[in-house]
Structures are given as structure tokens and as C-alpha cells.
């Protein structure tokens, strides 16, 4: 039972995410990670073991930005390694994803995505979802005057192809 935390606002995302992940430690985990949006890319930092180890890495190599996601994971596919820790990239790095649960049909989806040229860097089922959203975006048209709707439609189209679990309870806090 791992944890997900997200932040968008005007403050430093990294400290919010680390604090949020510490609060989720009671749920148990074997690795953790954060992705923070920099100007034209996502900075992803992942670590095996305690949140302190992730926080230590971020002290050495800070990731600055006001939008980010964080994750504590119990690896269900492959060993607990940095490569299997979340977040995972999708496409050419335009997508970053964290996921709680298990994608039952990931092997079929993975084979199809590999045939289309997607390259995988982990043993996880979750990485499939990141690439699937990237692929779905290619086939999802813009919606006039609503740029965010294209992304939402692409995510929904990708999710429709998934079998398994990918939900968690939700908490929102305002700063
Ligand atoms: N199935 C995913 C993985 O192995 C997510 C596990 C979890 O819920 O932490 O990476």
C-alpha cells in the first residue's frame, strides 16, 4: 500500500513532496521518488530505501519548481531498485507518471508499445501506462480553446485500455 503526493502552487514543490512522502511512510514502501517540472523538462530523482535517502539526494542535487509529484512504492514487478522506483517517464520524456496498484494486462500492452518503438527502462507494469499515455496523445486531437482537454482525453483513452488497479483514496490540502 504505497503513497502518492502531488503539488501545484507558487511555493517550492520539493519540500512539500518530501514532507508529504514522510507522512505516507506509515503505509510501507521500499523505494521513493519525485518528479519536478523544470522549464522544459521534468527532473526525476529516485531512491531505494528510506525517504531520508531521497531527501539526501535532493539536498546534493536540488530540483526546483512549483509543480511536482512524489511516490512511495512497494515493487510488485521486479526488485526494489532505483530503475523500478517511480516516477517513470513516458514517450521521449514528455510524460512522468506515478502509479499505485497492478496493471494486469501490462505484458500485452508492453509488447505492442515495444513494436511501436517505445523503450522501457524498468521491470514495472507502471511504465507501460506512461508510454501508453504518450502514444494516446499522438492520436488525440486538440480541442479549440481548451489546451488541457487534449491531455485529459488522452489519459482517459489510455486508461480505458488498462485492466487492473490504479486508484487510491484522495486527499487534497490547500496552502
Ligand atoms: N505495480 C507497480 C510497481 O511495481 C506499483 C506498485 C505500488 O503500488 O507501489 O512499480
Alpha carbons 31 and 47: distance in angstroms, whole number: 6
pLDDT higher than threshold 90 for residue 44:
yes
Question: Which residue's CA is the closest to the ligand 1 atom numbered 1?
Answer: 102
Distance 98 CA to ligand 1 centre (A): 9
Q: Tell me how far CA of residue 161 lies from CA of 58, 63, 122, 141, in angstroms.
A: 35, 33, 20, 18
Q: Quick one: pLDDT band at residue 39, thresholds 50, 70, 90?
A: confident
Q: With b meaning 16 or more CB within 10 Å and e meaning fewer, what string describes 70-91?
A: bbbbebebeeeeebbbbbbbbe
Distance 147 CA to ligand 1 centre (A): 30
Using only C-alpha atoms, the chain has a radius of gyration, in whole angstroms, of 16
pLDDT in tens, 83-93: 999 999 999 99
Q: With b meaning 16 or more CB within 10 Å and e meaning fewer, what string describes 96-126?
A: bbbbbbebeebeebbeebeeeebeeebebbb
Contact between 114 and 107 under an 8 Å Cβ cutoff? The reply is: no
Q: How far is CA 160 from the centre of its chain?
A: 18
With a Cβ cut-off of 6 Å, ligand 1 is lined by: 2, 73-77, 84, 99-102, 124-126
The pTM of the full predicted model, rounded to 2 decimals, is: 0.94
Distance 73 CA to ligand 1 centre (A): 6
pLDDT in tens, 99-127: 999 999 999 999 999 999 999 999 999 99
Q: Quick one: pLDDT band at residue 36, thresholds 50, 70, 90?
A: very high
Amino acid at each position: 500500500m504505497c503513497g502518492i503526493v502531488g503539488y501545484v502552487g507558487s511555493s517550492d514543490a520539493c519540500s512539500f513532496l518530501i514532507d508529504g512522502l514522510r507522512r505516507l511512510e506509515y503505509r510501507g514502501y521500499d523505494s521513493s521518488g519525485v518528479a519536478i517540472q523544470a522549464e522544459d523538462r521534468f527532473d526525476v530523482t529516485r531512491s531505494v530505501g528510506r525517504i531520508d535517502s531521497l531527501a539526501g539526494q535532493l539536498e546534493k542535487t536540488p530540483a526546483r519548481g512549483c509543480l511536482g509529484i512524489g511516490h512511495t512504492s512497494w515493487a510488485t514487478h521486479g526488485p526494489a531498485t532505483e530503475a523500478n522506483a517511480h516516477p517513470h517517464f513516458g514517450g521521449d520524456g514528455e510524460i512522468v507518471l506515478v502509479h499505485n496498484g497492478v496493471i494486469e494486462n501490462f505484458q500485452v500492452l508492453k509488447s505492442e508499445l515495444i513494436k511501436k518503438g517505445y523503450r522501457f527502462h524498468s521491470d514495472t507494469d507502471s511504465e507501460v501506462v506512461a508510454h501508453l499515455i504518450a502514444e494516446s496523445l499522438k492520436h488525440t486531437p486538440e480541442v479549440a480553446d481548451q489546451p488541457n482537454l487534449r491531455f485529459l482525453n488522452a489519459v482517459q483513452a489510455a486508461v480505458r485500455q488498462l485492466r487492473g488497479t490504479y486508484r487510491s483514496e484522495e486527499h487534497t490540502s490547500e496552502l
